[in-house]
Copies of this chain bind each other. A is one copy, B any other.
């Protein structure tokens, strides 16, 4: 088995070289043909998905998980259409990001190039199989996909459809490699192939991500969780703040850019918090607050340190009244996850201080935390979110799957010309 994982990865690396040399038009044509192939295979994919669903139901899998696993023809059409959208995105590969002629006449260009081989480690969602493949290939990379065992039949059927298109385009199909050995040992082996795998991106629950981070020797870009804060400054427009609060907490509480904690300046707490509490209660949100909050909002339960550090992934919010902007900043520094923070304010100096003092990947001034998403921020599509302060920070799009290299054009310049 040791030989096999390494062989798979080596084959993917060789195929990645072929992908790297495709033109933009060739890559876009490939993505469109992958979409067609997926649509053609709809019956086979649905049948494979049915056996995954039956196995999951037999195991008593929870409803939310079943929903993530389930495919129907509408969802498959959606996946195909996502592939076509990736084809429409600008190609980062070959982009010249800077160009300078040095005093000695050499032209130094920075040019975007593919990373190489990317390992995606993910859980139940079979759509990730196609989405990740599309983004990795568009950026000129090979991809090794290691999905969850609960989706293995669906993932295999999707990969089969995609590989047919890859093969038809004259690219070795190992450019998309789906791991079928789903043992932890095989995953660990993959994550230690430092001479082959350039980057691992885990997507899923905190447990999976911590496992990947603990066992990987290859670089990992990840985020564990999103503990996103809304700070309502003394100068905030209360209606605006309320809008951000409800959108942030209620519009989709199970995702990482949902709000988990509300911080309110004491000067606005007495007027803001009762209205906020009414809106939260009307949306079924459970509140946990400090003493000052509870004096204003009797319905709030006492908040613990764990509540302030929690990603609830549901309709619960932690609330604290703070004396100053600096106290709000200190709270975020202590409990935050470097994901996304929001300030509601009419004071530009306070906004600037909040942005500068916090090191989170995304900081919003008077906008909802729910915009912390590749599509919403203009990246086109998202391969993941990074709270690792290296290479990429925040939502990651196609560009995050490339690296800038140096290309120099000269006319025979040397560093130490021979003495005349």
Residues on the B chain within 8 Å of A415, using CB: 247, 251, 368, 370-371, 376
Chain copies in the assembled complex: 2
With A378-B108, A412-B244: A389-B363 Cβ-Cβ less than 8 Å: no
Interchain CB contact under 8 A, B113 and A413: no
- Choose one: B219, B405, B418; the contact of A246 (CB below 8 Å): B418
Contact residues, A215-246 vs B (CB, 8 A): 219, 237, 239-240, 243-244, 246
CB A291 to nearest CB in B, in angstroms, measures 28
Interface-facing stretch out of A41-49, A54-62, A73-81, A352-360: A352-360
CB A334 to nearest CB in B, in angstroms, measures 12
Q: Say yes or no: is A184 at the interface (Cβ < 8 Å to chain B).
A: no
Most chain B beta carbons < 10 A, residue from A100, A240, A377, A389 = A389
Cα distance, A394 to B237, chains bound together (Å): 48
**Chain A 405-419 against B: per-residue CB contact (8 Å), 1 yes, 0 no?**
111111111111110
Q: Say yes or no: is A82 at the interface (Cβ < 8 Å to chain B).
A: no
Main secondary structure on A side of the interface with B: mixed
Q: Say yes or no: is A365 at the interface (Cβ < 8 Å to chain B).
A: yes
Residues on the B chain within 8 Å of A418, using CB: 246
Q: Say yes or no: is A290 at the interface (Cβ < 8 Å to chain B).
A: no
Cα distance, A395 to B357, chains bound together (Å): 30
Q: Which 5 A-B pairs have the closest CB atoms?
A: A367-B410, A247-B414, A370-B415, A240-B412, A391-B391
